[in-house]
Amino acid sequence: MNSPAPLAPRLKKKPDFRDEARFIKNWIDKPLIIGAVSPSGKALAKMMAAPIDPELPGQVLEIGPGTGPVTAALIARGVDEARLVLLEFNPDFVTLLRQRFPRATVLQGDAYDVRGLAEGVLTGPLAGIVSSLPLLTKPVPRRARLLNDCFDLAHPGAPFVQFTYMVQPPIPVFAIGEAVATGSPRIWRNVPPARVWTYRRQVTA
């Protein structure tokens, strides 16, 4: 008999310590890729989902979904699971995400190749992009290129959302050209405390 699929985070009443264990194991193996020792808490995940407008048509791309706390927050925000495209590098997390979010499109690959990976998967302009990538491990021009690649795949003015544990924006404003960046208050309830930055390309009339 097949073992039951692990419960999606949205269905759990208590934190799943197996997710914490998965994170720690991956952090020991590849600290620069995982970028955190534990999954995002509920308050941070909710803040990450907040800039996404569920009424705006199109798919929503999540990059670096890990075990899925932000994915669950996007669904709780009203984004239908079938509209989600989840792009994750880690094959173990990919397997878990496919079990937890069977109606989402789950891609395994490197988000910095988003243009190639999205080809044939996206049905039109994205309604938004939500990223948990450990961006600070990459040089600033590489981060800015990822931002622009994502903007090119999205509706004009659609948000690119990214969290950081740092004080400064994870993609510095000097590198984002005409785009604008707004930062949330620090989310003290997350461990470690984090801020969410929302980037948008300005829409010219």
Ligand X SMILES: C[S@@+](CC[C@H](N)C(=O)[O-])C[C@H]1O[C@@H](n2cnc3c(N)ncnc32)[C@H](O)[C@@H]1O
If binding is defined by CB under 6 A, does position 85 make contact with ligand X? no
Given the complex with ligand X, which of 36 and 176 has the nearer CB atom? 36
**Is 134 near ligand X (CB under 6 A)?**
yes
Residue range at the interface with ligand X (CB under 6 A); choices 5-13, 83-91, 118-126, 177-185? 83-91
If the CB atoms of residues 39 and 128 are measured against ligand X, the closer one turns out to be: 39
What tokens appear for 202 in the block? 């300005």
- Tokens read off for 8: 């999606």
Q: Report the C-alpha gap between 62 and 84 in whole angstroms.
A: 7
Peptide bond into 192 cis (omega under 30): yes
How many whole angstroms from its chain centre is CA 53? Answer: 15
Residue 33 touches ligand X, criterion: CB under 6 A = yes
- Binding part of the chain for ligand X, among 59-67, 148-156, 167-175, 194-202 by CB under 6 A, reads 59-67
User: How many residues bind to ligand X according to rule CB under 6 A?
Assistant: 23
User: Looking at 9, 51, 64, 128, which residue binds ligand X (CB under 6 A)?
Assistant: 64
Q: Of 112, 169, 179, 181, which lies in the binding site for ligand X, with binding defined by CB under 6 A?
A: 112
In terms of CB distance, is 60 or 111 closer to ligand X? 111
| Whole-angstrom distance, CA of residue 153 vs CA of residue 98 | 23
Among 86, 96, 111, 150, binds ligand X (CB under 6 A): 111
DSSP letter for each residue of 11-48: G-SS--HHHHHHHHHHHHH-HHHH--SSPPPHHHHHHH
* Neighbouring residues of 203: CB distance < 8 A, sequence distance ≥ 6: 156, 157
> Per CB under 6 A, does 170 bind ligand X?
no
Q: Does residue 69 bind ligand X (CB under 6 A)? A: yes
Count of CB atoms within 10 A of residue 102's CB?
12
DSSP conformation class of 157 = T
Q: Among residues 6, 9, 51, 66, which is the contact residue for ligand X, using CB under 6 A?
A: 66
Q: Which residues contact 46 (CB under 8 A, 6 or more apart)?
A: 73, 76, 77
Nearest approach, Cβ of 39 to ligand X (angstroms)?
3
Q: Identify the residue whose tokens are 């999954």.
A: 39
Residues found near ligand X in the complex (CB under 6 A): 33-36, 39-40, 63-66, 69-70, 87-90, 93, 110-112, 132-134
